[in-house]
Each structure stands twice: as structure tokens, then as C-alpha cells.
Amino acid sequence: MSKHIKQPQSPFDSKLLMCALLDSLKKLDPRILWHNPVMFSVEIASIITLVTFALSLTGANTEPVWFTGTVSLWLWLTVIFATFAEALAEGRGKARAASLRESRTDVTAKQLANAEFNSAFTTVGASQLHKGDLILVEAGEIIAGDGDVVAGAAMVNESAVTGESAPVIRESGGDRSAVTGGTLVIANAIIVRITANPGETFLDRMIGLIEGAKRRKTPNELALEVLLIALTLVFLLVCANISPLSIYSVKAAGHGTPVSLTILVALFVCLAPTTIAALLPAIGIAGMDRLFQKNVIALSGRAVEAAGDVNVLLLDKTGTITYGSREAVSFVPVGGHNERELAEAALMASLADETPEGRSVVVLAKLKYSLIREILKDSEVVDFSAITRLSGINMEGTRYRKGASDSVVAFVKKSGAITIPSDLAGVVDKIARAGATPLVVSKDSEILGVINLKDIVKGGIQKRFLQLRSMGIKTVMITGDNPLTAAAIAAEAQVDDFLAQAKPEEKLRLIRDYQEAGYMVAMTGDGTNDAPALAQADVAVAMNTGTQPAREAANIIDLDSNPTKLLDIVEIGKQILMTRGNLTTFSISNDIAKYFAIIPAALLSIYPQLGVLNVMRLNSPHSAILSAVIFNAIIIPMLVPLALKGTKFRPMPAERLLIHNLLIYGVGGMVAPFVGIKIIDMCIGMLG
């Protein structure tokens, strides 16, 4: 099942192609096609040519049957190519949604009255679970709905959602409490409080999004559609205007025939921005799909496009800029204490600390002094909190603490310390300046020394930031570290700015300040304390391993829980817009050549002099018009791969990017149809 996600099918897989073909015919229904007004107008045009074809069969229309027939055929193909492109883009998503649905097959849940493992349960269907219900999930059972673990800890296999088969730990409290319906508990048991009503679960939303069923047009898409509709209307009027003008010209010139309905309709379809209109839905769907291939779920297309506009990126230092865990590398005693004394206290303060940092202190103490301790029964664990910014343990009447320098100093003063070792500030400062984290260790009211926790900046991250800077995106590192440490790492990673000793409310304020100044802000987060900031950010990426509040506040969820994904999301957001812009320019540039093909052909009988405008030297008026129509149709399937993959993204300043794209899609769009129409005309010439 996970294979569908990890290894996406090629969009041109033969089974998908067949499905898309069927769907594309269904989409010809005017009630559906109406949502794409440009293509809807082409469908009407096709119907009109079908009538002129019928009339030439009966002889009521003097135009040759082969001409009206082929024009009609190719206009129908134009519409079908458009619906096909959309169907193809949807196809992959549908296949995936189907596989996700399998994992949602009705499971039963053990509903509890209260959050205790030994209380009695009643068995209910998953679809009967509502917000606030408590369920017990034991090893080997599928979790019936989204929720928060309220008691216990378990190994959970989330491959149904993430595609990652390595099990993860889900436990009550902390930042790893969220579970997703449809995932499997492998070991241990947990009690889950349901947080989503039936039909609104994460899996449901995901299926809806992937299927494209709930896909709403984004503001940018709507604005572009306005432009396309306006152009279509203008071209409709242009073609309508040709008719009376040609009627007058026939009288004025004394010969020739007014431009026929078939030709006017053909000209209209060629001029209307059909290329972009045909591919517009596919571009958006395919963009979301590409995100999904990167294991990112965007809860709306709007969020993805907003990501393309982001100009401030708030990145958590840990895990994004540096490797997730810092390691204790040395103990530096202060105030005349010796290293062993310090190591012992550090070990005690870290005994209950399950973070990688805490564990690395335990490991270092063991390595250096072979120290091993265990938590005794009546000891009191002090967990780290963002407010106190220290943690430790009270054991055998002694209070061991470790934490940021100012917090520990404040703590020991409160515990009755009169003096603070004079060399502490120097040591802390020295470690911090080197970009490492100094963790001060205290025992009761005495400060013993400092643990040197080293932070390692990820390789190649500087290059990534440089790219972002060249795109005009400012990076801000957020860290709970003290300003000195933060500055050193910020300098090493080459971020533009940093927020040190960040508390939740400071993050929120920072985002508000940036937004007030007009910036679009993106941030990643996973903890419950990130939720307010996530809700405030324009683009909020939550890690799938994060807490339920964080996931609810976000508009994008990263199933891999890899914070660097934000950069990919920005890229895809930009790609979607660029593909639309480039194809719009291409589509409109094409019109110039089509005019040169059709106008002389249409008016030749009235004014033979206009033959000089036939710069492509096309064979005959009929073949010229047909060539333009055929080119206009086949350019759509030819550009489908581009629409699905997106135009290549290159990080460079806006102006250079514009020139680059204008040269390819603007100039290319002007030249390509001259060549294409000429080739098609030559082929028609060879046929007869």
C-alpha cells in the first residue's frame, strides 16, 4: 500500500492513460466543462462546425465537405485534448486516493468511559466515533480515528499515511502525542482521545485533496482566468467583427465571398487562449501531486501558491539548520569544582532527560568516568519547559538542574545562593561564541560547571540559503539558545537573521511584525507551543510527528517531518505560477503566426493583394486554415508533459528570470507556430 506513495506511477502508465481517456470524454459534458469557460466556448465552436459540416454534406453549405469535416474534427480534438490533460493530471491522484481508502475500511474501536487502561470498553464502529471519545488501542490494532494519546506509549506503524514503514513512538504528553486514523499499533497500548468527527479525519481530507474533489481555484488562478475569459470575449468580437467588415468589403471590391462561419469559428478557436486554458486545471492538480510525491500534503492550493510568495522563512534551528541533536563533548567545571563532580551532577540532571542531548550527557559521563546511575523511586523529575528553560531531578533530597545560563543562575539564587562563580560567565561566553551550547549544571544552590553541547550545522545548508537570498527570501533562524550561541550558528549557516531565546509569544510577535511590514511569512513547527505562530503564519508547515494542535494550525503537513521541505514547497509554489505564466505568454504569442496563416487565407477571395501577408507561403487558403487549427490542437498534448512536470525552476533574481522566460516562452511562442504551421501545411500538401 505504501508503495503507491513512495514510488508514484508514471503519468503515462498505460492503465492511467486509459482511465484518463474515458474521463476526458465524460468531461465533455457541458455542465462540467462550463467550469472552464474558454474550453466551453471551444466546445460550442465545435458544435457550430459540426452543423456547417452537416450543411456541406447536404449541399446547403458550399464549402468542401472534407474541409468543414476536418475543421470540425480538429476542433473537437482540441476540446478532448484539454479534458484529457485534466483527466491525466487527476489520474495519479485518484489511484492514490483509492489505495488510501483501502486503509480506511471500517475498523472497530474499543470505546472507553474514562482514560484508564483497566476500565471496561464497548466495541463501536469507527464511523460512530466523535470528537472527545476515548478509545483503547492495543498492539496489532488499527487506530480508528485521529486523536491525541492521553495515556500510554506505543510503537505505531504510520506507513498507510506517510509511506514510511519504520515504526514511530507515540506517547502521551509532549510533542509526539498525535496519532492518525488508519495507522497500526505494533507494540504496547495507548488510550486515544478522538479529535475529528467521522468524514473530517486527516485521511478523509487527504483523500479529498488528492482526488481533487475539493480543489478550489486559487486567487491567482481566478485572476488568470479573468484575463483568459476577457481575451476570449475580445477574440469572439474580433471574429464577429470580421463578418460585417467582409460583407462590406465584398461589395466594395465587387468580388469574392464574405468570410464563412466555419472559417470565423476556426479563427476564433485559434486566437482564443486555448493552450493555457486547456492546461490550466492540469497545472494546479499536477503541482499538488508533485508536492504529494515529496510526501507533503497541502491542505489548500492557496497555501502552496502562498509558499511561492514567501519572503521571510522562519526556520527552527534544530533539525533544519543543524542536525537535530546536539552532543555533549566536554564538561568545563567552574568555581573550583572538579570535572568529575560536575560530570556526576550533569549525569543526575540528565537522567530523566530523554532528549538526544540529555542522553549524550549520560553517554559522555559514562565514557569519561564510567558513571552509571538510575532514577530512584521517590525522586521528582523536573521536565524542561519553554518558560523555565531548565530541567533536572530532585533525588535523595538533592536538586540537580541543568539549563540555560541565566535560568540556572536565577534558579540557584532563588535556592539561596549568595555568590555565582566568577569564571562562569567567561566559560559560558567562550562556549557560546564558538557556536556551541553551554548548559550550566547546578546542584542545590551551587553552580558546578558547564556542559559543552556542540551543534553541527548541516552540510550544504549555506548554499540553500544563498539560493533563497537570490530569490529574495530572507531566512530567520529561531532558536531557544542564548543570543551568543545563536549568533555563532547564524553566522556559520549564513542565515539573514535570528531570534534567540525564542518563547512562543515572541515567535508570534515576530511573525506579526513581519506581516505588518508586508512580508509573507512561512514557518515550520511541530510542538503545541508552535501552534499560535503556525496559525498566524501565511504558510505553516507542521511535521506529521507533531502534536495535533500544531497539525490543525498548519496549512501544509509534511509527512516525512523533515523541516527542510519548506524549501521544496516554495519551489513547487513558484513552479505552479511560472508554468501558468509561461504558458499564457506562449499561448498569446502564438496568435501572431495564426493571424498570418488565417487572415490572408480568409480574405484572399476579396482582396488577392492580401496574399503578401501569407508569409509562410502556405499551399491554399483551406490548407492554411486547417494547419492553424491542427497546430492549435496538437500543441496541447505536446505541452502536457510540461504542464505536469512544471517549468524548471532556477533560483535567480526576478528580472533575470523574467528575461529568461520571455526569451523561451515569448519569443519561442512567436516562432514555434510559424514553423509548426508550415510543417503541417506541407504534410497536408503531400496528402493531397
Partner 1 sequence: MNSSEWLQTILFFIILLSLTKPIGIFMAHVYQGERTFLSPVLVPFERLIYRICGVRTEEDMDWKRYATSMLFFNLMLFGALFVMLLTQHLLPLNPQNIPAFPWQQALNTAVSFTTNTNWQSYSGEQSVSYFTQMTGIAVHNFVSAATGMAIVIALIRGFVGRKTSIIGNFWVDMTRGTLYILLPFSMIAAIFLVSQGVIQNFNAYKTVPLVQMTASHREVTIPMGPVASQEAIKELGTNGGGFFNANSAHPFENPTPLSNFVEMLLILLIPAGLTHTFGLMVGNPRQGWGLLAAMLFLLLSAFGTLQWAESNGNPLVAKMGVSGVNMEGKDVRFGLAGSSLFTVSTTGTSCGAVNTMHDSLTPIGGMIPLSLILTGEVVFGGVGSGLYTMLAFSIIAVFVSGLMIGRTPEYLGKKIEVREMWISILVILTAGVSVLVLSGIAMVTPSAIASMANPGAHGLSEILYAFASMSNNNGSAFAGLNANVNFYNLFGSAAMLLGRYVPAVAVLAMAGSLAEKKHTPPSLGTLPTDRAPFVVWLTLVIIIIGALTFFPALALGPIVEQLMMAGRA
Tell me the three cell numbers of residue 615.
Answer: 508569409
Query: Which of positions 571-600 make contact with partner 1 (CB under 8 A)?
Result: 573-578, 580-582, 584-585, 588-589, 591-592, 595, 599
Among 44, 509, 519, 637, binds partner 1 (CB under 8 A): 519
Cβ-based nearer residue to partner 1, 483 or 668: 668
What DSSP string describes 217-267?
PPHHHHHHHHHHHHHHHHHHHHHHHHHHHHHHHHHHHS-S-PPPHHHHHHH
Residue 565's alpha-carbon distances to 93, 261, 324, 485, 532, in angstroms, are 21, 54, 15, 25, 21
Q: What is the DSSP letter of 547?
A: -
Q: What are the beta bridge partners of residue 331?
A: 451
Cβ-based nearer residue to partner 1, 474 or 565: 474
Cβ-based nearer residue to partner 1, 166 or 612: 612
- 308 contacts partner 1 (rule: CB under 8 A): yes
Query: Which of positions 269-288 make contact with partner 1 (CB under 8 A)?
Result: 271
What is the residue type of 107? Answer: V
Cβ-based nearer residue to partner 1, 106 or 516: 516
Q: What are the residues whose beta carbons fall under 8 Å from the beta carbon of 419, sequence distance 6 or more? A: none
Beta strands in 512-621 (DSSP E): 521-525, 539-543, 556-558
Query: Which of positions 640-659 make contact with partner 1 (CB under 8 A)?
Result: 649, 653-655, 657-659
Alpha-carbon 426 to chain mean position: 45
Cβ-based nearer residue to partner 1, 239 or 342: 239
Query: Can you tell me the distance from the alpha carbon of 78 to that of 594, in angstroms, rounded to the nearest whole number?
Result: 15
Query: Which of positions 526-555 make contact with partner 1 (CB under 8 A)?
Result: none
Residue pair 282/39 in contact by the 8 Å Cβ criterion? no
- 603 contacts partner 1 (rule: CB under 8 A): yes
Cβ-based nearer residue to partner 1, 107 or 670: 670
Selection from 630, 639, 637 nearest residue 676 by Cα? 630
Selection from 441, 376, 436, 369 nearest residue 402 by Cα? 441
Q: Shortest distance, CB of residue 312 to partner 1, whole angstroms?
A: 9
Half-sphere exposure of 469 (CA within 13 A, CB side): 13
- 613 contacts partner 1 (rule: CB under 8 A): yes
Instruction: Work out whether the CA dihedral 105, 106, 109, 113 comes out positive or negative.
Output: positive
**Number of residues lying near partner 1 (CB under 8 A):** 78
- The SS3 call for residue 214 is coil
- 223 contacts partner 1 (rule: CB under 8 A): yes
Q: At what angle do helices 219-253 and 274-293 cross, to 10 degrees?
A: 160
Residue 157's alpha-carbon distances to 121, 140, 166, 187, 542, in angstroms, are 24, 10, 7, 10, 19
Q: Shortest distance, CB of residue 212 to partner 1, whole angstroms?
A: 21
Q: What are the beta bridge partners of residue 450?
A: 332, 440
Half-sphere exposure of 522 (CA within 13 A, CB side): 31
Q: Shortest distance, CB of residue 596 to partner 1, whole angstroms?
A: 9
Among 121, 323, 369, 607, binds partner 1 (CB under 8 A): 607
Query: Which of positions 125-164 make contact with partner 1 (CB under 8 A)?
Result: none
Q: At what angle do helices 565-603 and 261-271 cross, to 10 degrees?
A: 150
Query: Which of positions 357-386 make contact with partner 1 (CB under 8 A)?
Result: none
Q: Shortest distance, CB of residue 68 to partner 1, whole angstroms?
A: 21
- The SS3 call for residue 651 is coil
Query: Which of positions 473-492 make contact with partner 1 (CB under 8 A)?
Result: 473-474
Cβ-based nearer residue to partner 1, 234 or 329: 234
Among 166, 612, 686, 687, binds partner 1 (CB under 8 A): 612
Selection from 252, 149, 256, 176 nearest residue 604 by Cα? 256
Q: Shortest distance, CB of residue 682 to partner 1, whole angstroms?
A: 25
- 568 contacts partner 1 (rule: CB under 8 A): no
Q: Shortest distance, CB of residue 225 to partner 1, whole angstroms?
A: 9
Query: Which of positions 231-250 make contact with partner 1 (CB under 8 A)?
Result: 233-235, 237-249
Q: Which stretch binds partner 1 (CB under 8 A): 47-55, 80-88, 559-567, 662-670?
A: 662-670
Selection from 565, 574, 539, 566 nearest residue 650 by Cα? 574
Q: Shortest distance, CB of residue 51 to partner 1, whole angstroms?
A: 22
Among 336, 459, 460, 518, binds partner 1 (CB under 8 A): 518
Burial group, residue 40, by CB count within 10 angstroms (0-12, 13-18, 19+): middle
- 224 contacts partner 1 (rule: CB under 8 A): yes
Tell me the three cell numbers of residue 105.
Answer: 475500511
Cβ-based nearer residue to partner 1, 125 or 653: 653
Cβ-based nearer residue to partner 1, 77 or 556: 556
Q: Shortest distance, CB of residue 252 to partner 1, whole angstroms?
A: 4
Residue pair 194/138 in contact by the 8 Å Cβ criterion? no
Active site residue 316: yes
Query: Which of positions 82-121 make contact with partner 1 (CB under 8 A)?
Result: none
Query: Which of positions 12-51 make contact with partner 1 (CB under 8 A)?
Result: none
Query: Can you tell me the distance from the alpha carbon of 68 to that of 54, in angstroms, rounded to the nearest whole number?
Result: 9
Q: Shortest distance, CB of residue 520 to partner 1, whole angstroms?
A: 8
Selection from 472, 564, 579 nearest residue 519 by Cα? 472
Q: Shortest distance, CB of residue 577 to partner 1, whole angstroms?
A: 5
- 309 contacts partner 1 (rule: CB under 8 A): yes
Q: Shortest distance, CB of residue 8 to partner 1, whole angstroms?
A: 23
Cβ-based nearer residue to partner 1, 426 or 472: 472
Among 517, 686, 687, 688, binds partner 1 (CB under 8 A): 517
Among 162, 183, 220, 627, binds partner 1 (CB under 8 A): 220
The total of other beta-carbon atoms located within 10 Å of residue 386's CB is 13
Query: Can you tell me the distance from the alpha carbon of 494 to that of 487, in angstroms, rounded to the nearest whole number?
Result: 10
Longest dimension (CA), the chain: 114
* Site string (200-219) toward partner 1, x via CB under 8 A: -------------------x
Which of 316, 353, 526, 538 does the annotation list as catalytic? 316
Cβ-based nearer residue to partner 1, 162 or 582: 582
Catalytic residues: 316
